[in-house]
Amino acid sequence: MSANQLKLAFYGDDFTGATDTLATLSAAGLKTLLFMGTPKPEQLAAAGPLDCLGIAGAARSMGNAEQRAELEGVGRFFSELGAAVVHYKTCSTFDSAPQVGSIGLAVRTLQQQLRINTFTAFVGGQPNLGRYCVFGNLFAAFKKGGHAYRLDRHPTMSQHPVTPMHEADLRLHLAHQGLGDLGLVQYPSYDLSADEFDSLLAGEVSNHADGVLFDVGCFDHLHHVGKAIWHAARHEPMLAVGPSSVAQALIVHWAATAGTTISVVADAEMPAMTAPSESIDAGPAFVFSGSRSPVTASQLSMAKSYLHVPMAPRLLMDAANAAYTKVLDEVTDALKRGAHVLSYVTDEPVPGDVSAVKLAQACAEFVARVLSKAKPRRVGVAGGDTSSYTVKALNVWGLSYLGQLDPGVALCRLHSDDPGLDGVEVMLKGGQMGAADIFEKLLH
């Protein structure tokens, strides 16, 4: 694969976010593969020529030392790859903290490895997911089509168990993570003439050493953002930070370029699919939910086609216990009988010595055991951290896109050297993503 073919290389700070970017690029007709780590030469060869290449990570849940080590390796690989734009894909709500999933630390680490001198672009807002950045402040809808809240007043994100968002101004939020000198392109500037806009942007770049934040309050704003990023990338490699709206902005700009074959949906909403064209005859489906968000709770209540198997956090943390084995056998036996099974973490208190990461890893281990014993061919995982650690627990090296279940929720195919895993269809869903009937959609 020639590096010059690559338009975009991206790293997702959790797996569900990485699959959203994979879906965004693939739906536009760009050949894209998501790797489960820095790919080996034989995996790159198996992928063939690519327009875009992604690496799915778990940096959002990592402490500083682990995150730095992860991104130093990723940055070196991206530097050798030579893609025009490197995208550090964050959660659409930018949830992070100085000591956990620090976006500031990620940016500093990647800048050092990429050795680029152009400005760093920060893209706020992703309208198709109900995320809006205006005058530097981020707003998020509680559910699709619902009321949008300023992030520090959002019913869920303001009370996130690991990275609660107490500041809606993204420049102030990122300043706490070491990015204290960010410029801002406010959305009324998009109505300026081309020369006036270029002059304004040049001023923001020259006066702010850490980069420039772009407002995105509606789909039409994406074209201006994509044009600004791509024009900078023509001169030297570019680092862009933000949710899948980074990819959306580039797609909109590329689609407007004469002679392009890239497609874009006018309202940035990718259509829900009835069935992917290459989908398998999946048989019984297994879903595991590690998310305990109100959105996921509503989705669990709507999943009428499944056998529900609750698991208390304390039980998940003790795999040697006979009760754990009993639940594992219940799930695998039901799948072998042809039943759809939905197992989920209950709202019971988490033991005091158990961190969110340890619980997510325990969830991942349970999913891996189910897949090993029952070998379902269609799987769903709910929860960003749970999804990240689940794929890490499997012998999988890549994901390709099959179709879209809901905005922000893709159905993908696993690529593995293990024939029991290769070709398995998987839905990875963040806790805030998907309509109330998302688990039913996975079946049909």
For 320-344, the pLDDT digits (tens) are 899 999 999 999 999 999 999 999 9
Percent of the chain with pLDDT over 90: 58
CATH among 3.30.2290.10, 3.40.190.10, 3.40.50.300, 3.40.50.10840 for 3-256: 3.40.50.10840
Q: Give the residue with greater pLDDT, 282 vs 221.
A: 221
Distance, in Å, from the CA atom of 349 to the CA atom of 337, rounded to the nearest integer, reads: 33
Q: Out of 74-78, 215-219, 289-293, pick the least confident.
A: 289-293
What is the reported pLDDT for 432?
A: 80
H or E element: which one contains 267?
none
CATH of domain 285-443: 3.40.980.20
Q: Which residues are within 8 A (CB) of 112 and not within 5 positions of it... i.e. 6 or more apart?
A: 75
Q: Indicate the DSSP class of residue 150.
A: E
Report the residue count for the chain.
444
Please report, for the chain, the start and end positions of each structural domain, with discontinuous segments joined by +: 3-256, 285-443
**Band of the pLDDT at 1, cuts 50, 70, 90?**
very low
**Band of the pLDDT at 276, cuts 50, 70, 90?**
very low
Distance, in Å, from the CA atom of 18 to the CA atom of 295, rounded to the nearest integer, reads: 20
Q: Out of 171-185, 190-204, 355-369, pick the least confident.
A: 355-369
For 86-141, the pLDDT digits (tens) are 999 999 999 999 999 999 999 999 999 998 878 999 999 999 889 999 999 999 99
H or E element: which one contains 24?
helix 15-27
For 167-194, the pLDDT digits (tens) are 999 999 999 999 999 999 999 999 999 9
Phi and psi torsions of 379, nearest 5° = -135, 145
Phi and psi torsions of 26, nearest 5° = -65, -40
The distance from CA 425 to its chain's CA centroid, rounded to whole angstroms, is 17
Does the structure show a pLDDT above 70 at 281? no
pTM: 0.79
For 292-314, the pLDDT digits (tens) are 888 888 898 888 999 999 989 99
Provide mean pLDDT across the span 136-147.
86
Q: Give the residue with greater pLDDT, 183 vs 386.
A: 183
What is the reported pLDDT for 260?
A: 55
Provide mean pLDDT across the span 416-439.
88
Q: Give the residue with greater pLDDT, 32 vs 2.
A: 32
Sheet arrangement for strand 137-141: 131-134, 137-141, 148-150
H or E element: which one contains 149?
strand 148-150
Whole-number average pLDDT of the chain? 89
Distance, in Å, from the CA atom of 336 to the CA atom of 352, rounded to the nearest integer, reads: 36
